[in-house]
């Protein structure tokens, strides 16, 4: 197919505006045309991926966040794992750490969210770790806490556009595992976990600046194994263990500090679940039902408090899965 160059078009009326800077080539075969080489194209940000989980699943599946329904197969992780964490830019989804069935691992896998297919090797964390958490903006992903098997306070970071090993970011205020996190474009917020005692502590960092975490406030009760999702301004923590599996949902305003407030309830109490979100809708599911393994996905509107509703189902029940998306609050 021959290229169609926008810089070959001559305007008949120069007063109608300047040329479009930086866009020189359009390619396509039907319908939508996109600027070739434009890796920052922001259309169609509506996909959430769930990956890993018990029992050392390599499976990755996806949903369209704005459309109710069941998950669809995406591909496989490079390394099967559970007890891992994940985060994403609007282009790449990344899974790291976990348990591969015989050992705690430090490997990092990545996929291109808007395509389908198997994951590739990204690099390694600075330590072998399971049950960490992660958060991100569009440039940097930060992974922290977890079990080595001792509870860890270490925070690592990666730059999404460059494969390679993680670098040290700083430390949490408290060493803990099975914790959970949310992010805005500027601030990452980490909550709960096991020290080994269950805690309600919430920490925060400024994503662009390496350094140790600071105190943000507290969750309403000590919990571990929750799932976090966020809009650009609000972070939501879903379910968890306190000490049994609970259905409670609470939220924080990420730009300020303070105590988490009641949001509503999930359709089931569950722990070690996964979550994905757009800027307006959060979807969470799977998890351990105490007893039993959940297949259900719930959804909520992040800006509006209230109970979650049924979204659809995973392809199979599993727990210790984690999610990532191309449109979460950290991406703005």
What CATH number is attached to the domain comprising 100? Answer: 2.120.10.80
Label residue 55 by pLDDT band (50, 70, 90). confident
How far apart CA 173 and CA 161 sit, in angstroms, is 29
Q: Is the domain of 29 the same as that of 57?
A: no
Q: pLDDT tens digits, residue range 21-30?
A: 333 332 333 3
Residue 41 has pLDDT above 60, yes or no: no
Using the predicted structure, report yes or no on whether residue 44 has a pLDDT greater than 80.
no
Instruction: Give the model's pLDDT for residue 36.
Output: 30
**C-alpha angle 317-236-65 in degrees, rounded to nearest 5:** 55
- Per-residue pLDDT band for 3 (boundaries 50, 70, 90) equals very low
Of the chain, the percentage scoring pLDDT greater than 90 comes to 85
Same domain, 21 and 75: no
Same domain, 243 and 168: yes
Q: What is the pLDDT of residue 9?
A: 30
In terms of domains, do 19 and 60 share one?
no
Query: Could you report the per-residue pLDDT of 112-151, keeping only the tens digit for each?
Result: 999 999 999 999 999 999 999 999 999 999 999 999 999 9
Q: Is 197 a residue whose pLDDT tops 70? A: yes
Please report whether residue 39 resides in a domain. Answer: no
In this prediction, residue 308 carries a pLDDT of 98
196 pLDDT higher than 90? yes
When pLDDT is averaged across residues 194-200 and rounded to a whole number, the result is: 97
Q: Are 148 and 220 within one domain?
A: yes
Q: Specify whether 242 is located in the same domain as 104.
A: yes
Query: Could you tell me if 263 and 287 lie in one domain?
Result: yes
Same-domain status, 147 and 17 = no
Residue at 246 is within a domain: yes
What's this model's pTM, rounded to 2 decimal places?
Answer: 0.87
> For residue 207, what pLDDT is reported?
98
* CA 107/CA 124 separation, integer angstroms: 5
Q: Are residues 148 and 177 in the same domain?
A: yes
* Cβ count within 10 A of residue 189: 24
Mean pLDDT of the chain: 89
Q: What is the DSSP string of 188-238?
A: EEEE--BSSSB--EEEEEETTS-S--EEEEE-SS--BS-EEEE-SSEEEEE
* pLDDT value, residue 28: 34
42 in a structural domain: no
Question: Using one digit for the tens of pLDDT, what is the confidence trace for 69-91?
Answer: 999 999 999 999 999 999 999 99
Asked whether residue 18 carries a pLDDT value surpassing 80, the answer given is no
**Does 54 lie in the same domain as 29?**
no
In a shared domain, residues 21 and 134: no
Q: Is there a single domain that holds both residue 127 and residue 19?
A: no
Q: Is residue 19 part of a domain?
A: yes
Q: What is the mean pLDDT of residues 4-19?
A: 33
| Neighbour count for residue 68 (Cβ, 10 Å) | 14
The whole domain housing 22 covers 4-34
- Quick check: is 204 in a domain? yes
Structural domain tally of the chain?
Answer: 2
In the structure encoding, which two tokens stand for residue 118, read together? 């198997």
Q: Distance of alpha carbon 63 from its chain centroid, rounded?
A: 14
Q: Is 43 within a domain?
A: no
Residue bearing the bigger pLDDT, 33 or 225 = 225
């Amino acid at each position: 197919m021959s290229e169609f160059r926008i810089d070959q078009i001559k305007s008949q009326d120069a007063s109608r505006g300047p040329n479009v800077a930086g866009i020189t080539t359009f390619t396509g075969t039907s319908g939508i045309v996109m600027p070739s080489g434009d890796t920052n194209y922001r259309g169609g940000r509506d996909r959430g991926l769930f990956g890993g989980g018990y029992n050392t699943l390599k499976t990755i599946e996806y949903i369209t966040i704005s459309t109710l329904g069941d998950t669809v197969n995406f591909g496989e992780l490079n390394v099967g794992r559970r007890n891992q964490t994940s985060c994403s830019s609007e282009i790449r989804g990344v899974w790291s750490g976990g348990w591969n069935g015989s050992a705690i691992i430090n490997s990092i896998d990545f996929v291109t969210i808007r395509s389908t297919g198997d994951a590739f090797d990204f690099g390694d964390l600075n330590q072998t770790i399971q049950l960490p958490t992660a958060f991100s903006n569009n440039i940097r992903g930060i992974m922290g806490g977890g079990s080595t098997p001792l509870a860890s306070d270490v925070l690592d970071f990666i730059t999404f556009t460059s494969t390679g090993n993680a670098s040290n970011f700083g430390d949490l205020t408290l060493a803990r595992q099975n914790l959970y996190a949310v992010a805005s474009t500027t601030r990452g917020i980490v909550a709960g976990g096991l020290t080994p005692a269950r805690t309600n502590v919430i920490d925060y960092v400024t994503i662009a600046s390496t350094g140790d975490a600071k105190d943000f406030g507290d969750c309403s009760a000590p919990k571990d194994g929750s799932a976090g999702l966020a809009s650009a301004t609000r972070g939501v923590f879903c379910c968890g263990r306190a000490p049994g599996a609970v259905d409670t949902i609470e939220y924080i305003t990420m730009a300020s500090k303070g105590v988490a407030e009641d949001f509503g309830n999930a359709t089931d109490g569950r722990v070690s679940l996964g979550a994905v979100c757009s800027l307006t809708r959060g979807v969470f599911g799977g998890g351990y039902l105490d007893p039993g393994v959940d297949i259900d996905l719930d959804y909520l509107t992040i800006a509006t408090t209230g109970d979650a509703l049924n979204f659809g189902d995973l392809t199979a029940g599993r727990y210790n899965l984690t999610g990532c998306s191309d449109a979460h609050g950290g991406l703005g």
